[in-house]
């Protein structure tokens, strides 16, 4: 029987979760060979968690892909391998080092930034494996170009995004048909904010790499950010190595991902901290977004995540 005039209150995180699961199932049903982009960052951790839920009790019906810049935080690689073992995932590694060795991209040098080079490695892997859909953990609140992107974002045979020619995407009717050689990027977390992600991590106990939590490490101050001194970041002339208690708000290429000074050791403490911060997560932590006014759009047009 239909209930007449029923009104239900519903939890915001439950609706975000349901919508993301709906998108995951829809893309898997409509596309031939999907893949989930798994960087080991918090957004891809949440995305993987949702994907496991969407297809339980079955195994994940697609592989995960790590686009490996070769400049990794060891804690993140450890985490990646732990999650692969835990869920019995099929892992594809798209290696930037391999792209450099094959001469597909120029070597920026041992300490050079490799963020932009990921695009070539990613598109080559999509081509080689004939993937027609790639799930990503990108969120619209991250950047002004991402704020413009559809949930299902069409890429042409060259992997390019054309922001002037996006498909209309009405209601929750996701239309994922592509011709051979083209592919989709699918963003189930489009409507999530950074705070939603952390509240969901808290509610669901989603495991994360340890570098998300406050720890003490040597850092140098460069371009307004704290960079972790290690294999891929050496102090430049005039820079002083200091020890600080820091955590990472995002996880990217180790040579260009900055840490924030923070004593937040738990998810609860991180939530309290981001509720009062004055700086956006990418503004605080990503040198790659600081090249130009439209750095993200320019990279996305070429095929970046």
β-strand 152-155 against 215-222: which pairing, if any? unpaired
Any contact of residue 223 with another protein (CB under 8 A)? no
Where does residue 130 rank: exposed (0-12), middle (13-18), buried (19+ CB within 10 A)? exposed
Tell me: does residue 10 bind another protein (CB under 8 A). yes
Q: Does 276 bind another protein (CB under 8 A)?
A: no
Alpha-carbon span 249 to 209, nearest angstrom: 11
Q: Indicate whether 170 belongs to the interface with another protein (CB under 8 A).
A: yes
Residue 221: which H helix or E strand, with range?
A: strand 215-222
Residue 59 found at the interface with another protein (CB under 8 A): no
Does position 140 bind another protein by CB under 8 A?
yes
Among 39, 190, 250, 257, binds another protein (CB under 8 A): 190
Window of 13-21, 78-86, 116-124, 261-269 that interacts with another protein by CB under 8 A: 13-21
Judge contact between 79 and 40, C-beta under 8 A. Answer: yes
151 by DSSP, 3-state: which? Answer: coil
Instruction: Tell me: does residue 142 bind another protein (CB under 8 A).
Output: no
Considering only 51-59, 83-91, 243-251, 258-266, which stretch makes contact with another protein by CB under 8 A?
A: 51-59
**Could you give the CA distance from residue 78 to residue 36 in angstroms, rounded to a whole number?**
18
Whichever of 240 and 293 has its CB closer to another protein, that residue is: 293
26 binds another protein (CB under 8 A): yes
In the bound complex, what is the minimum distance in angstroms from residue 61's beta carbon to another protein? 9
d(CA 127, CA 106): 20
Give me the count of residues in the chain.
Answer: 305
Cα separation, 53 vs 115, in Å, equals 31
- Out of 88, 103, 109, 168, the residue judged to bind another protein by CB under 8 A: 168
172 lines the binding site for another protein (CB under 8 A): yes
Site string for another protein, 94-133 (x = CB under 8 A): ----------------------------------------
Token pair 């930037």 is found at 96
CB count, 10 Å around CB of 76?
22
Q: From CA 199, how far away is CA 187, in angstroms rounded?
A: 19
Whether residue 118 contacts residue 98, with contact meaning beta carbons closer than 8 Å, is answered with no
- Comparing CB distances to another protein, the nearer of 107 and 169 is 169
- Give the residue with the Cβ less far from another protein, 209 or 258: 258
180 makes contact with another protein (CB under 8 A): no
Angle among Cα 11, 13, 18 to the nearest 5 degrees reads: 100
176: Cα within 13 Å, side-chain hemisphere: 25
284 binds another protein (CB under 8 A): yes
Q: How many CA atoms lie within 13 A of 173 on its CB side?
A: 5
Piece of the chain touching another protein by CB under 8 A; list 122-130, 158-166, 207-215, 252-260: 158-166
Binding test (CB under 8 A) with another protein, winner from 97, 166, 202, 210: 166
Q: Name the minimum Å distance from CB 146 to another protein.
A: 9
Residues that bind another protein (CB under 8 A): 1-12, 14-15, 17-19, 21-22, 25-26, 28-29, 53-58, 140-141, 143-145, 147-148, 150, 163-164, 166-173, 175, 177-179, 190-191, 193, 277-280, 283-284, 293-294, 297-298
């Amino acid at each position: 029987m239909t209930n007449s005039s029923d009104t239900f209150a519903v939890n915001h995180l439950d609706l975000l979760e349901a919508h993301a699961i709906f998108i995951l199932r829809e893309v898997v049903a409509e596309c031939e060979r999907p893949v989930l982009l798994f960087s080991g960052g918090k957004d891809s951790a949440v995305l993987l968690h949702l994907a496991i839920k969407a297809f339980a009790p079955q195994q994940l019906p697609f592989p995960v892909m790590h686009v490996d810049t070769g400049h990794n935080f060891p804690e993140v690689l450890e985490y990646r391998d732990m999650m692969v073992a835990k869920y019995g995932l099929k892992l594809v590694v798209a290696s930037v080092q391999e792209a450099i060795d094959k001469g597909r991209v120029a070597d920026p040098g041992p300490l050079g930034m490799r963020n932009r080079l990921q695009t070539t490695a990613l598109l080559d892997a999509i081509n080689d494996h004939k993937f027609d859909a790639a799930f990503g953990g990108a969120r619209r609140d991250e950047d002004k170009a991402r704020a413009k992107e559809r949930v299902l974002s069409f890429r042409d045979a060259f992997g390019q995004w054309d922001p002037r020619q996006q498909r209309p995407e009405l209601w929750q009717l996701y239309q994922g048909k592509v011709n051979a050689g083209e592919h989709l990027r699918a963003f189930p977390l489009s409507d999530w904010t950074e705070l939603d992600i952390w509240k969901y991590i808290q509610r669901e106990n989603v495991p994360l790499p340890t570098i998300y939590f406050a720890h003490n490490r040597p850092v140098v101050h460069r371009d307004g950010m704290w960079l972790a001194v290690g294999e891929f970041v050496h102090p430049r002339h005039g820079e002083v190595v200091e020890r600080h208690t820091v955590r990472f708000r995002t996880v990217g290429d180790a040579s260009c991902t900055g840490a924030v000074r923070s004593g937040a050791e738990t998810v609860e403490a991180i939530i309290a901290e981001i509720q009062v911060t004055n700086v956006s997560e990418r503004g605080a932590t990503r040198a790659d977004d600081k090249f130009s006014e439209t750095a993200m759009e320019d990279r996305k047009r070429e095929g970046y995540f």
